[in-house]
Amino acid sequence: GIQVEQSPPDLILQEGANSTLRCNFSDSVNNLQWFHQNPWGQLINLFYIPSGTKQNGRLSATTVATERYSLLYISSSQTTDSGVYFCAVFLSGGYNKLIFGAGTRLAVHP
């Protein structure tokens, strides 16, 4: 089956720093979502991004589907950005379940 790999697995930042999280996938996908899981377990939608670049405040994402990767950029990080970031893909071929990576665990210190 399709493999979704996220890097780095863990990331520690000082408040105000910038970071880039990467998601590689091994097969063609219909679409891709980025989530932030807060300490209470809630998955918060960040981006729904089949291709191209989107921005939302301090966060932006770029997906290059032909090269099978997506990037999530966090600028001027804040302590509230801490948590786990997941990318998840929709398989091509009519299937609509999400296949998740193992996540990047981010800790932002003041």
Partner 1 sequence: DTGVSQDPRHKITKRGQNVTFRCDPISEHNRLYWYRQTLGQGPEFLTYFQNEAQLEKSRLLSNRFSAERPKGSFSTLEIQRTEQGDSAMYLCASSLVGSSYNEQFFGPGTRLTVL
In this chain, which stretch among 20-28, 58-66, 75-83, 87-95 interacts with partner 1, using CB under 8 A?
A: 87-95
Q: How far is the CB of 15 from partner 1 (least distance, A)?
A: 25
Show the tokens assigned to 48.
């729904």
In this chain, which stretch among 11-19, 65-73, 75-83, 90-98 interacts with partner 1, using CB under 8 A?
A: 90-98
Show the tokens assigned to 106.
């981010």
Q: Does 2 bind partner 1 (CB under 8 A)?
A: no
Q: How far is the CB of 8 from partner 1 (least distance, A)?
A: 15
Q: Does 92 bind partner 1 (CB under 8 A)?
A: no
Please, are residues 34 and 47 in contact by the beta-carbon 8 Å criterion? Answer: yes
Show the tokens assigned to 66.
């032909």
Q: In this structure, which long-range contacts are made by residues 98-102, counting pairs with CB atoms below 8 Å and at least 24 apart in sequence?
A: 98/33, 99/1, 99/2, 99/4, 100/4, 101/4, 101/5, 101/6, 101/23, 102/5, 102/6, 102/9
Instruction: Single out the residue of 35, 61, 63, 106 in contact with partner 1 (rule: CB under 8 A).
Output: 35
Site residues for partner 1 per CB under 8 A: 4, 30-31, 33, 35, 40-43, 45, 48, 86, 88, 90, 95-103
